[in-house]
């Protein structure tokens, strides 16, 4: 059920909001602004202030068709904490099989960070649902194209790192399924109104790629 919710979310808008540094007292308004702009997947990195509180606040604030998760999950021990807070998605900067297996054992989606095709296939063997291609600036669209030739189309390839509205087209043409958006969408202290403006620009660029 959760996997189908995620697939529908990706089909509706393949953009994942990364709210690194967000605070619990502001996350509700920011999350609502993102949802109204069209986002359906939001993650709060665990190196943010009180991240579990923010995850819980988002889950309570947003409709069930919005997938809420945690980013920068570095250990298996964190998985249970994220689930208890209402998180549904585990996003990692690395490809630790123990964390992937812990996420799947907990019934959560998992998007490990991978930088080589060997890491990609190892992550899939461990149970990964999505491949986070990180850092996208280093890998580039040519790597996405090469990976797409050997990785099944039903496996989402999601470049993360330095993505802008103007930069999505080359990655999409190479076979990217969606994008993780960080500081170009939200940086600590960015008000909800500005996040809404940036979100609208990203969603407009995404929709243009689908037409």
Catalytic status, residue 43: yes
User: In the beta sheet, which residues pair with residue 157?
Assistant: 131
Q: Which of 43, 56, 83, 88 is catalytic?
A: 43
* Catalytic pick among 56, 83, 88, 132: 132
Cα separation values, 167 from 21, 140, 163, 179, Å: 24, 11, 6, 11
Sole residue written with tokens 């969408």: 185
Active site residue 132: yes
Catalytic positions are 43, 132
């Amino acid at each position: 059920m959760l996997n189908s919710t995620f697939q529908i979310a990706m089909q509706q808008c393949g953009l994942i909001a990364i709210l690194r540094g967000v605070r619990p007292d502001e996350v509700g308004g920011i999350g609502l602004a993102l949802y109204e702009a069209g986002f359906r997947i939001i993650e709060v990195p665990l190196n943010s202030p009180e991240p579990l509180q923010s995850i819980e606040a988002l889950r309570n604030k947003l409709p069930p068709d919005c997938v809420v998760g945690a980013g920068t999950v570095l250990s298996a021990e964190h998985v249970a904490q994220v689930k208890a807070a209402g998180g549904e998605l585990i996003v990692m900067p690395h490809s630790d099989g123990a964390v992937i297996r812990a996420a799947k054992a907990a019934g959560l989606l998992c998007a490990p960070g991978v930088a080589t095709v060997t890491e990609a296939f190892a992550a899939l063997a461990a149970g990964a649902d999505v491949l986070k291609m990180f850092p996208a600036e280093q890998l580039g669209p040519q790597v996405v194209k090469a990976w797409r030739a050997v990785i099944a189309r039903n496996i989402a390839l999601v470049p993360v790192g330095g993505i802008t509205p103007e930069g999505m087209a080359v990655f999409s043409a190479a076979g990217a399924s969606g994008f993780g958006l960080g500081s170009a969408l939200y940086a600590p202290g960015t008000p909800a109104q500005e996040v809404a403006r940036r979100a609208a620009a990203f969603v407009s660029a995404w929709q243009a790629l689908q037409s």
